[in-house]
Amino acid sequence: MMLNYYRTDDASWTARPLLANAEEGESMHSLRGAFSETAYIYGEANIWARQHIATAAHKVFSLGLGLGYVEILSAAYATASKTKFSCVSFEALPELTHAIQAWLRGDANAGIVPYEIYEDILERASRQTGAASEAIRRELANALDQGDWIVRGALAPDTDFTDARNCHVIAFDAFSRKTTPELWSREFLDRFLAEVPASKCVLSTYACTGDLKRALRQANFNLQIRPGFAAKRDSTFATRA
């Protein structure tokens, strides 16, 4: 799998997969600002969790890893509040799960993502949270080594969530319903919401579909429909406290 990289309007990077027919797939982030979008949709979920859920470590669920914006920013919030970074990430492209680990381990051979892109995200996460970039990098690397950050492959409707239970911050950042319809079906969302979230938690996503809203209400979430980032219509910020 090849990816093409583009600078977005806030000068942070996004990527598009190059498909078999040589066309490009969906962009991973808003072209109006990849980091800005992440901070708005997923950074604010981390902030909410820190304000409303008392726990030694806020466990993050991330679907999918992509360029790692959610993981790096969440680790930055954990570092800034002197708590442990705990996370389960799912990513369908093995090249992406490999690339971020190669960066953190300082491998001489970079994966498909140039290290410059991860370094840029790290610097932005540092500025956003006040945590030192080296401390964030160490937190990410330690979490990987110690099994506090688990990186898994593709999520499918029958995926086992045993190591992804009790999550406090759920970043539902799959591609759109058009690209990955199985991850937006009511049946899958009902099982997901029954198994993954902790009793007190926040789920945030750039999307706002009817099935998602109905599934969240049934699972006793308090629903806030927020304006989407930039040109997008609505986004979903759902909390249970």
Ligand X SMILES: C[S@@+](CC[C@H](N)C(=O)[O-])C[C@H]1O[C@@H](n2cnc3c(N)ncnc32)[C@H](O)[C@@H]1O
Quick one: which of 219, 142, 169, 70 has its CA closest to 134? 142
Amino acid letter for position 153: G
Quick one: which of 174, 168, 231 has its CA closest to 203? 168
Residue 43 is a binding residue for ligand X (CB under 6 A): no
- Cα separations in angstroms, 184 against 29, 47, 64, 212: 18, 25, 14, 7
Binding residue for ligand X, selected from 49, 78, 88, 96, defined by CB under 6 A: 96
Binding residue for ligand X, selected from 66, 76, 136, 212, defined by CB under 6 A: 66
Residue 118 is a binding residue for ligand X (CB under 6 A): no
Residue 188 is a binding residue for ligand X (CB under 6 A): no
Binding residue for ligand X, selected from 70, 131, 169, 216, defined by CB under 6 A: 70
Residue 149 is a binding residue for ligand X (CB under 6 A): no
Binding residue for ligand X, selected from 48, 61, 85, 175, defined by CB under 6 A: 175
Q: Which stretch binds ligand X (CB under 6 A): 86-94, 132-140, 192-200, 211-219?
A: 86-94
Nearest distance, CB of residue 199 and ligand X, angstroms = 25
Binding residue for ligand X, selected from 12, 13, 28, 39, defined by CB under 6 A: 28
Going residue by residue from 198 to 217, which x/- string records binding to ligand X, judged by CB under 6 A? Answer: --------------------
CA distance 13 to 9: 9
Nearest distance, CB of residue 181 and ligand X, angstroms = 11
Beta bridge pairs of residue 6: 14
CA 169 to chain centre: 9
Angle at which helix 133-146 crosses helix 115-129, to 10 degrees, equals: 110
Cβ proximity to ligand X, 157 vs 227, nearer residue: 157
DSSP H helical ranges for the chain = 34-38, 44-52, 69-80, 94-105, 115-129, 133-146, 186-195, 210-218
Cβ proximity to ligand X, 59 vs 199, nearer residue: 59
Residue 18 is a binding residue for ligand X (CB under 6 A): no
Quick one: which of 99, 104, 101, 118 has its CA closest to 35? 118
- Cα separations in angstroms, 235 against 59, 89, 124, 133, 228: 22, 21, 23, 29, 5
Nearest distance, CB of residue 220 and ligand X, angstroms = 26
Residue 228 is a binding residue for ligand X (CB under 6 A): no
Structure token digits, residue 72: 């790096």
Q: Read off φ and ψ for residue 224, nearest 5 degrees.
A: -115, 120
Residue 67 is a binding residue for ligand X (CB under 6 A): yes
* Binding positions for ligand X, rule: CB under 6 A: 28, 38, 63-64, 66-70, 90-93, 96, 154-155, 173-175, 180, 183
